[in-house]
């Protein structure tokens, strides 16, 4: 799975989905939403994943 604006990592039974577009304050737009849903689908379809953690790269994020 190749994602442009999301970083997807898995440690044991935890999937980490990180918004990775700090130049845009990690704002949710069509491009990041596409990657976010792909990462979420990956985690949901992995029977080993029991927890999904959402976070943003850097301290900045903008939602609205």
For residues 14 and 53, the answer to whether their CB atoms sit within 8 Å is: yes
Share the mean pLDDT of the chain: 90
Looking at residue 62, its pLDDT comes to 54
What is the pTM for the complete model shown?
A: 0.84
For residues 51 and 9, the answer to whether their CB atoms sit within 8 Å is: no
For residues 24 and 57, the answer to whether their CB atoms sit within 8 Å is: no
Q: With H, G, I as helix, E, B as strand and everything else as coil, classify residue 15.
A: strand
How far apart CA 37 and CA 53 sit, in angstroms, is: 14
Tell me which residue has tokens 């990690």.
Answer: 26
């Amino acid at each position: 799975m190749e994602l442009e604006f999301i970083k997807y990592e898995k440690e044991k039974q935890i999937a980490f989905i990180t918004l990775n577009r700090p130049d845009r304050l990690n704002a949710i737009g069509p491009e990041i939403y596409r990657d976010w849903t792909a990462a979420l689908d990956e985690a949901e379809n992995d029977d080993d994943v029991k927890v999904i953690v959402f976070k943003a790269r850097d301290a900045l994020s903008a939602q609205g």
